[in-house]
Structure 1
Amino acid sequence: MRIDAHQHFWNFDPVRDSWIDDSMKVIQRDFSPEDLLPELRSKRIDGCIAVQADQSPQETQYLLGLSHQHPYIKKVVGWVDLSAPDIESQLERYQAEKNLAGFRKILQALPPSAMEEEAFLQGISLLSKYHFTYDILIFPKHLPAALEFVKKFPNQAFIIDHLAKPAIKSGEFEHWSKGIKELSEIPNLYCKVSGMVTEADWKKWKKEDFIPYLDHITDCFGTERLVYGSDWPVCLVAASYAQVFDLAWEYFQPFSEDEKAAIFGDNACEFYGINA
């Protein structure tokens, strides 16, 4: 089964979605499952994982509702206030929702010290009990803190979104590569091959720009812990759906059929609990 393990849906709200500024006008509109389906079909992708873009319980319910209406939305990565005093009772209730794979917090907007807050750590400590995954959305400056964070939870299924957003446009590599290497030594941590084009020069990127970063994550994580995702529709500020898919697909062409099947579907199914 081929899976796009990272994409979003939203009904655009200029206040709520203020992060979509005028430099991103192309995505200042609604994006629905009907918009995505032709893109999936064009690349023979069987299903996708809808990831939260707004930090609210309403967003989680919205995505879950879509997943019930559209069977190709295989799982949802939602949002919950992991620091809430009643977090365990919330997780217990959410456990009944079979399409909910796990959660994400927009850590990239916070200082690295946010990963040290006691209430947040308490919430993370409960996720594995209820079989929920956790997506880590950070920038390279967060990598040292992220390493200490994931070390605390050896039984938690973690995945790094968007390669931890390396500064591809400027070509910065050393700091990011060191941090990623250290993180990759944590066996319960996966990495998404996603979000690259938006970290490159939106207008002038070329596929060679991404090769050092792809080489490094492949060396670090191996093909058994890499997961492909498009980051649609955010990717549209820099590339079409097809261009994003083709960047990854062409890079991994020399790999074996089993390795490609792992990166483009099997690993996502294993990590997020997707049944064929």
Structure 2
Amino acid sequence: MRIDSHQHFWRYTPQDYRWISDDMAVLKQDLLPETLRDTLQRHDVQGSILVQACSSVQETRWLLELSEKTDFVRAVTGWVDLSSPALKQELEAISHPLLRAVRHQVQDESSPAQWLENPAINAGLRELQQQKTVYEILVTHRHLTDAVKFAERHDDYFLVLDHFGKPDLSLGAAHWKQQVAPLAGLKHVSCKLSGLLTEPRPAGMSARDLLPYFEAALEIFGAERLMFGSDWPVCLLADADENPWDLCEQATATLSSDEQAAIYGGNACAIYQLQPLPITGND
């Protein structure tokens, strides 16, 4: 089963999706399952993990309702206030068979470092891990050191680094590798091969120039802790002739079939405890 480990849906409203700026016009519209279905089929992807895009329990409930009616969504990464003293009850209130992970847009906090150090947040993470719920880390390269300290404190269940940790592409893959290696050294941390196409690039940098980041990720995480993610529809912000499916296929072309199977679905199935697709037809 080929899995896209990172995609979004939304009914666009400016107040809910404030991170969508004026130069992201293609994202300022409702983006729903039928818009993505043909693309997944074209790239032979049978399932996806649907990820929150605003800090709202209401959005999480809506994503879960949408997932029940969308055959290719295999799991949801939702949002909950990790600092809430009533977190256990709030998790119970949104409990759902497809809710397998939680994420917060730490990169948008006024002080991501303080957020990651917050005792209430860390207590919430301990509760989350006790319930065997994955937590996805969304930070930029500016706070990877803080993310390492955070991840070291929370090793009771899986943590997943989104979008390569959003590297500074102007500094090159070797610099990013050095930054992220301490995270890769923590065996409970995996990384999504997603988001690179829409990170700010130096003038003249092509999609092909991003391949060294994949090579570095393979060296430090190994194929057993990497997952392909398209970051659709955010990936639509890339140039028209660039897409994450082709980029990742270029990056993984020389890997063994077992390594490719792990990156394109096996690891996501294990980390997010995805159920196998139902068998159809006659054998």
Q: Same fold (TM over 0.5)?
A: yes
Query: What residue is the counterpart of 2:212 in the other structure?
Result: 212
Query: What residue is the counterpart of 1:13 in the other structure?
Result: 13
Query: What residue is the counterpart of 1:47 in the other structure?
Result: 47
Q: Helix, strand or coil for the counterpart of 1:115?
A: helix
After the TM superposition, which of the residue ranges 181-190 and 197-206 deviates more from structure 2?
197-206
Query: Equivalents in 1 of 2:37, 2:202: separation in Å?
Result: 24
Query: Equivalents in 1 of 2:93, 2:241: separation in Å?
Result: 35
Change (3 A) 1:240 1:125: farther
Query: What residue is the counterpart of 1:230 in the other structure?
Result: 230
Query: Equivalents in 2 of 1:198, 1:215: separation in Å?
Result: 19
Query: What residue is the counterpart of 1:122 in the other structure?
Result: 123
The alpha carbon displacement at 1:19 in A equals 1.4
Query: What residue is the counterpart of 2:147 in the other structure?
Result: 146
The alpha carbon displacement at 1:15 in A equals 2.3
Q: Cα deviations across residues 16-46 of structure 1 (Å, max 9, x unaligned)?
A: 2221111111111110001011110001100
The alpha carbon displacement at 1:171 in A equals 3.8
Q: Letter of the aligned partner of 1:39 in structure 2?
A: T
The alpha carbon displacement at 1:174 in A equals 5.2
After the TM superposition, which of the residue ranges 221-230 and 209-218 deviates more from structure 2?
209-218
Give TM-score scaled by structure 1 length: 0.95
**Structure 1 unmatched ranges of 5 or more:** none
Query: What residue is the counterpart of 1:99 in the other structure?
Result: 98
Q: How many pairs does the alignment contain?
A: 274
The alpha carbon displacement at 1:104 in A equals 0.2
Change (3 A) 1:42 1:74: same
Query: Equivalents in 1 of 2:34, 2:240: separation in Å?
Result: 16
Query: Equivalents in 1 of 2:61, 2:155: separation in Å?
Result: 29
Query: Equivalents in 2 of 1:88, 1:157: separation in Å?
Result: 19
Query: Equivalents in 1 of 2:149, 2:188: separation in Å?
Result: 14
Query: Equivalents in 1 of 2:241, 2:55: separation in Å?
Result: 25
**Structure 2 unmatched ranges of 5 or more:** 277-283
Q: Cα deviations across residues 139-182 of structure 1 (Å, max 9, x unaligned)?
A: 111111111111111212100000000122x2444553222111
Pairwise CA RMSD: 1.7
Query: What residue is the counterpart of 2:168 in the other structure?
Result: 167
Say if 2:187 is the partner of 1:187.
Answer: yes
Q: Helix, strand or coil for the counterpart of 2:168?
A: coil
Give TM-score scaled by structure 2 length: 0.92
Query: What residue is the counterpart of 2:157 in the other structure?
Result: 156
Query: What residue is the counterpart of 1:199 in the other structure?
Result: 199
Q: Letter of the aligned partner of 1:157 in structure 2?
A: F
The alpha carbon displacement at 1:4 in A equals 0.3
